[in-house]
Structure 1
Amino acid sequence: MVIYPRFLFRQARWRAACRIKKKSVFVSYMRKEKLTEWRCWSRKPPLTMRRAPVHFTCTANTNQMVVEFMGMQLPGSSFVHPDAPLREALTAAAARQVTRLTGNGNTWMPLGKMIDEKVVVNGIVALLATGGSTNHTMHLVAMARAAGILINWDDFSDLSEVVPLMARLYPNGPADINHFQAAGGVPVLMRELLNAGLLHEDVNTVAGLGLKRYTLEPWLNNGELDWREGAERSLDNDVIASFDKPFSPHGGTKVLSGNLGRAVMKTSAVPVENQIIEAPAMVFESQHDVLPAFDAGLLDRDCVVVVRHQGPKANGMPELHKLMPPLGVLLDRRFKIALVTDGRLSGASGKVPSAIHVTPEAYDGGLLAKVRDGDIIRVNGQTGELTLLVDEAELAARQPHIPDLSASRVGTGRELFGALREKLSGAEQGATCITF
């Protein structure tokens, strides 16, 4: 058991300089006009944005919602502005509270005593209800394993069948995290899910026993930090829905399986008509190779874009965020497009049907290493199918393609991680060296 308390201090959200919808149009404009970022800034100055942490349901903001639902930070503290007096008061209160949770206090609460199966389930429910970052299909698995709890993608898929999508935040909708907070934020969503019986209330938290206290919101009462009941219901039904009238009856995380392995698809942002595709593969070894192909018009067709050797063991699983704008443009041009990769996308995965985190990865014996240009791949986000439609005898005769990956393993200290990289588990096991 970890005998020390753990407490998360939140940096908080930032105000957007322009709306998410404008940003989406702006990025699409860049790709359509084949502009560099510098040229686009010079031609479209009204669309410039502040340098600030992202404020959609990226990994960082998903983290805050998930860990608050897990009771690992103060109630209602996820999205208070960093320049607000309330944020300073919350930070001071968190520092005082963590000292109370030590063995020197009277409410000793080590991390090993706090994190159990119920807390892990609460975290998954939060992820699904908010349509959060796909990175958490690995992060939560790794966190659970560190606590001695074994979960896999089937648990996410099973819970997704009963947990509805109740927040419409970019890329699932036009709102950002500021709109979410204004609509009632975590407290109102917590209340809805508790009332629906989808959360375990009887859990230990850094604020004390019971998740019900997380329906409270912090405020300054004559300059002093205090808590009061949060909104009874959503203040904006276009951003936070009720349990009775969700945006979708399912959480929007689908597990795909087939001869290519197992993968995750975030279906909450993918229109139903785009969730099924059967088309020829176009194979790339890097996201940086996809962009020149797009600019040259080579992707102007129905196709399944395969980006392989992006898994944990191959190169540490970098975020493939550069792929979404060009692939989104192809969808806008009415082509049938899908992405299949052993890499990851974070919260930026949007309307493009994407089978990500394919495991086993290409570098570790996965069939993805044998895929060739022109092979037909079927991706079905409704039935959960991921199949390479090539004769088994033909596949058995093929040699896997393993590129030279040395360039991604040297420089800027990356040599230090060589031994660790080889010991990493697959994505479904959390991409971690904790392999029990």
Structure 2
Amino acid sequence: MLNDQIARVTDRIRERSHISRGAYRARIDAAARRGVHRAAIGCANLAHAVAGCVPAEQDDLKQDAKPNIGIVTSYNDMLSAHQPLERFPDIIKRAVRAAGGVAQVAGGVPAMCDGVTQGREGMELSLFSRDVIAMATAIALSHDVFDGALLLGVCDKIVPGLVIAALSFGHLPSIFIPAGPMPSGISNGEKSRIRQLHAEGKVGRAELLEAESAAYHSPGTCTFYGTANSNQMLMEIMGLHLPGASFVNPNTPLRDALTEAASRRILEITARGNDFTPTGEMIDERAVVNGMVGLLATGGSTNHTIHLVAMARAAGIHITWQDFSDLSDHVPLLARIYPNGAADVNQFQASGGMPVLIGSLLDHGLLHGDVRTVWSGDGLASYRDQPVLKDGALNWVPAPRESADTTILRDGSDPFSADGGLKILHGNLGQAVVKLSAVKPEHRIVEAPARIFRSQDELLAAFKSGELHHDFVAVVTHQGPMANGMPELHKLTPALGVLQDLGFKVALVTDGRMSGASGKVPAAIHVTPECAQGGSLAKLRDGDMIRLDCNAGTLRALVDAAEFAQRKLPEVDLSANHHGVGRELFGAFRSAVGGADVGASVFA
């Protein structure tokens, strides 16, 4: 039986989205009826489309004898998570050819790394890169010669951008193929400890670089549970991956076998196959709610309170932060993966991983099990199975029903906490998101004077000069999407963690983002309306008392209401954030972008 609250939230999303979802379905249904135009386009058009193929495939496509699969890849060899994708097109082409189809690389999309750009000017392009990726994927598929798509992406903005584009071409089936996490290196806890020692000035750059290099040491996704690995969880629990595909290490026989299996499966779910599964029909309100539940049950990245909203809107589905919050009250926390615990994603996988997690959520009525997926017609039930390779043959077998390590992964009957640890805060400073799964109960209420900063560099300079050894609420303003692209402020985590460990009451309030690795310090983030749109956060002054109550869900400036209303917004010169490292090219994005609560997108 489906949990009553899951059902209620799904029903209200469906009701709220009735008109927009209906219009979306009408568009993709019309596109599906029209079909692929490969056989109908002009001879010169078709000649251009097939000229790069080997002669036999040229003939197949000219005669429209076989389905054609478009590959969209985020490969580059600077980023560890995407480097393994170099091999994937050749693997896919061979597997598709053997199964009776043709595959072409339709296009590439940019893939920037938030780990490289943290605290630097390039981070101000990070969130916008999601929409660029969606548009680049649309260009790749716009040639209108494909029966389906295989989408290769891993990290923070890449997967959400690919999903938005896949839903824009929702009349086609799409399967997402991940690269997998790198093997475990230095523990995330040890990495965090050395970062904090460096922030305190107790170890130098050489020691810090050695530790970071021991953590990020080989091809594959970073092993902490940030946005990249939250992406992989989402793609599996929303049915866009093959079962058990998310966390298999790259460049292994099992990883390659899963890539081959996805390549074969895409042919079966095209309109020419026997199980037509268009993405826009498959990703409905139930699938979106399943994604939200998975995020909450695993303590996933706060970035998805933005990305999931934008992804859902691409399918005509309107979800809100309140939907997240209401689900969080009823979805237990079942996983402890760094930064919400000591384990990394490889240890999560070894403890049972996605099959055990999905099985537990299904058993407790916390998922819509009757959704469509790219894999089979029996909904999420098949996602209880795990892939195994024996004598070179790939099969799926029932996964254990129980976790192999209950310090990492638990059943719904014995959760780490009864709720998902995500709260929406309301008050006279606006609306904000706070992630509590890594914040100890004694740190969840902070009432202290505000200290106002215009950038994270200002805050770090004050920390290094010894000005912040007292109770305070750090308020970092003008960090929203319209102001400067909404960069992550992850560099603040070690400094604020040091102050909290010294016994001071500290918190962060900002209209910017934190990393998917948001940690132990209470952080009210994504404050909307943002400062650049006239949000009340911009009215704060040094010394104003702030009360952040994560338990009650409130965020308030304890300032006389009449005085606060009369305060004028300060004039802040943001021009320095609008040029350099390509930022001058994104003026139109800053002007058109919506608020964080509606997905921080330029599309709607």
Please give the TM-score of this superposition, normalised by the length of structure 2.
0.70
- RMSD of Structure 2 on Structure 1 (CA): 1.6
The one-letter code sitting in structure 2 at the alignment partner of 1:206 is V
The one-letter code sitting in structure 2 at the alignment partner of 1:103 is A
State whether residues 182 and 218 of structure 2, in contact with CA within 8 Å, keep that contact through their aligned partners in structure 1: no
Query: Please, which of 226, 231, 235 is the counterpart of residue 67 of structure 1?
Result: 235
Give secondary structure in 2 for the equivalent of 1:179. helix
Partner of 2:187: 19
Q: 1:35 Cα deviation (Å)?
A: 5.3
Q: 1:49 Cα deviation (Å)?
A: 5.1
Give secondary structure in 2 for the equivalent of 1:401. coil
- Whether 2:285 is the aligned partner of 1:117: answer yes
Question: 1:39, 1:346 → 2: CA distance?
Answer: 23
Partner of 2:577: 408
Question: 1:250, 1:148 → 2: CA distance?
Answer: 28
- Whether 2:273 is the aligned partner of 1:108: answer no
1:240-251, aligned counterparts within 5 Å?
Answer: 240-251=409-420
Q: 1:20 Cα deviation (Å)?
A: 1.6
Question: 1:391, 1:425 → 2: CA distance?
Answer: 30
Pick 1 or 2: higher relative contact order, CA cutoff 8 A, min separation 6. Answer: 1
Query: Runs of 4 or more off by more than 6 Å in structure 1?
Result: 44-48
Give secondary structure in 1 for the equivalent of 2:587. helix
Q: 1:48 Cα deviation (Å)?
A: 6.6
- Whether 2:252 is the aligned partner of 1:252: answer no
Partner of 1:50: 217
The one-letter code sitting in structure 2 at the alignment partner of 1:309 is H
Partner of 1:137: 305
CA offsets per residue over residues 179-198 of structure 1, 9 Å max, x none?
Answer: 10000000001100000010
Give secondary structure in 2 for the equivalent of 1:107. coil
Unaligned runs of at least 5 residues, structure 1? none
State whether residues 435 and 518 of structure 2, in contact with CA within 8 Å, keep that contact through their aligned partners in structure 1: yes
State whether residues 351 and 408 of structure 2, in contact with CA within 8 Å, keep that contact through their aligned partners in structure 1: yes
Query: Please, which of 422, 425, 429 is the counterpart of residue 594 of structure 2?
Result: 425
Question: 1:425, 1:227 → 2: CA distance?
Answer: 43
CA offsets per residue over residues 207-230 of structure 1, 9 Å max, x none?
Answer: 022110001111112101111111
Partner of 2:436: 267
Give secondary structure in 2 for the equivalent of 1:304. strand
Give secondary structure in 2 for the equivalent of 1:343. coil
State whether residues 327 and 337 of structure 1, in contact with CA within 8 Å, keep that contact through their aligned partners in structure 2: yes
Q: 1:98 Cα deviation (Å)?
A: 1.8
Partner of 2:178: 10
CA offsets per residue over residues 316-340 of structure 1, 9 Å max, x none?
Answer: 1111110100000000000000000
CA offsets per residue over residues 144-178 of structure 1, 9 Å max, x none?
Answer: 11111111011111111110000011111111101
CA offsets per residue over residues 288-346 of structure 1, 9 Å max, x none?
Answer: 11111111111111000011111111111111110100000000000000000001113
Partner of 1:345: 514
Partner of 2:294: 126
- Whether 2:534 is the aligned partner of 1:377: answer no
Query: Please, which of 381, 386, 393 is the counterpart of residue 555 of structure 2?
Result: 386
- Whether 2:320 is the aligned partner of 1:152: answer yes
Question: 1:39, 1:178 → 2: CA distance?
Answer: 25
Q: 1:415 Cα deviation (Å)?
A: 2.5
- Whether 2:356 is the aligned partner of 1:184: answer no
Question: 1:205, 1:91 → 2: CA distance?
Answer: 17
Partner of 2:61: none
State whether residues 234 and 295 of structure 2, in contact with CA within 8 Å, keep that contact through their aligned partners in structure 1: yes
Question: 1:48, 1:57 → 2: CA distance?
Answer: 13
Corresponding pairs, count: 434
Question: 1:26, 1:369 → 2: CA distance?
Answer: 34
- Whether 2:528 is the aligned partner of 1:359: answer yes
Question: 2:213, 2:380 → 1: CA distance?
Answer: 44
Partner of 2:496: 327
Q: 1:433 Cα deviation (Å)?
A: 2.5
Q: 1:26 Cα deviation (Å)?
A: 1.0
Partner of 2:473: 304
State whether residues 341 and 358 of structure 1, in contact with CA within 8 Å, keep that contact through their aligned partners in structure 2: yes
Partner of 2:462: 293
Query: Please, which of 232, 250, 259 is the counterpart of residue 82 of structure 1?
Result: 250
The one-letter code sitting in structure 2 at the alignment partner of 1:243 is G
Unaligned runs of at least 5 residues, structure 2? 1-27, 29-169
Give secondary structure in 1 for the equivalent of 2:526. strand
19-28 or 59-68, which deviates more: 19-28
Question: 2:429, 2:212 → 1: CA distance?
Answer: 45
372-381 or 30-39, which deviates more: 30-39
95-104 or 24-33, which deviates more: 95-104
Question: 1:418, 1:283 → 2: CA distance?
Answer: 26
State whether residues 279 and 304 of structure 1, in contact with CA within 8 Å, keep that contact through their aligned partners in structure 2: yes
Partner of 1:211: 380
State whether residues 371 and 380 of structure 2, in contact with CA within 8 Å, keep that contact through their aligned partners in structure 1: yes
- More helix per residue: 2
Q: 1:259 Cα deviation (Å)?
A: 0.4
Partner of 1:238: 407
Question: 1:330, 1:55 → 2: CA distance?
Answer: 27
Partner of 1:368: 537
Give secondary structure in 2 for the equivalent of 1:7. strand
Question: 2:421, 2:212 → 1: CA distance?
Answer: 36
Question: 1:292, 1:36 → 2: CA distance?
Answer: 17
Partner of 2:5: none
Query: Please, which of 194, 199, 213 is the counterpart of residue 367 of structure 2?
Result: 199
- Whether 2:486 is the aligned partner of 1:317: answer yes
Question: 1:77, 1:111 → 2: CA distance?
Answer: 18
